[in-house]
């Protein structure tokens, strides 16, 4: 989950990582070093005995994205104020359900990256505002129409070098154009897309603008080897976006 937690920090965010004391996720561990490689990432130890591990991404000084890590025990009062709550299927399903329920109560936007591919329970889909599967994961989830019927507000199907397609009820599918690059390593591109999307939504960008940013960031991430080192800084994404305007 490190790339997904780090990606928002490069989209002009600030990430605070809280981890459970007594686990392998400690300062100096491989996971901690990976997270600390990100821009504006800070590691914070929880008091002993707390079974929590979370990455909290912030846009400037304002909290905006909560990212749940494995072993994260979530209750409504434990989720910090946030505009966006982001999770993936490396997190236990019960933790995602609790985090998304708390987010919905707080008025936050929920974003689900359904990877590794798995079947999502209906109660989770009903709490999901945006789901971002690839073309294989979307079929395992029952297809675009089934997801929209289940209550998901936006289905964004990523297509790799072909860009993405944004689906929502009552609106024709909208293609998110790709940014052609010479790829070196595609590891982490999906995490980069989702993390960047969440950060820009939390910053107040419309979903169309956020998707364009996410596509540019994900394309740039494939030009560098390594999942975490490949996360592009916001300045590089802005340059790519500017070069493709018009």
Q: How far apart are CA 73 and CA 84, in angstroms?
A: 18
The token pair at 72 is 């994260």
Cβ-contact 201, 84 below 8 angstroms:
yes
On the 0-12 / 13-18 / 19+ scale of CB atoms within 10 A, 196 is buried
Hey, how many other C-beta atoms are within 10 angstroms of the C-beta on 168? 17
Among the listed residues 65, 49, 72, the one whose alpha carbon sits nearest the alpha carbon of residue 8 = 65
- Catalytic amino acids? 191
Token pair 């980069």 is found at 192
CA–CA gap between residue 223 and residue 230 (Å, rounded)? 7
Q: What are phi and psi of 52, to 5 degrees?
A: -135, 145
Burial (CB count <10 Å: 0-12, 13-18, 19+), residue 3: buried
């Amino acid at each position: 989950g490190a790339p997904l937690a780090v990606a928002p920090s490069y989209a002009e965010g600030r990430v605070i990582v809280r981890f459970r004391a007594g686990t392998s996720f400690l300062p100096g561990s491989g996971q901690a070093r990976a997270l600390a490689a990100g821009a504006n990432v800070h590691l914070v130890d929880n008091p002993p005995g707390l079974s929590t591990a979370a990455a909290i991404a912030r846009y400037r000084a304002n909290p905006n994205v909560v990212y749940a890590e494995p072993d994260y025990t979530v209750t409504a009062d434990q989720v910090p104020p946030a505009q966006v709550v982001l999770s993936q299927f490396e997190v236990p399903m019960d933790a995602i359900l609790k985090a998304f329920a708390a987010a919905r109560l707080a008025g936050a936007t929920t974003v689900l990256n359904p990877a590794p591919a798995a079947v999502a329970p209906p109660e989770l889909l009903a709490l999901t505002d945006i789901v971002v599967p690839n073309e294989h994961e979307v079929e395992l989830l029952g297809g675009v129409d089934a997801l929209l019927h289940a209550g998901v507000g936006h289905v964004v199907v990523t297509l790799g070098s072909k860009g993405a397609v944004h689906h929502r009820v009552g609106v024709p599918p909208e293609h998110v154009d790709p940014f052609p690059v010479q790829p070196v390593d595609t590891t982490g591109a999906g995490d980069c897309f989702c993390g960047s999307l969440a950060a820009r939504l939390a910053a107040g960008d419309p979903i169309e603008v956020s998707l364009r940013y996410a596509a540019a960031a994900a394309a740039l991430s494939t030009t560098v080897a390594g999942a975490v080192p490949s996360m592009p800084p916001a300045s590089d994404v802005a340059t790519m976006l500017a070069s493709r305007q018009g």
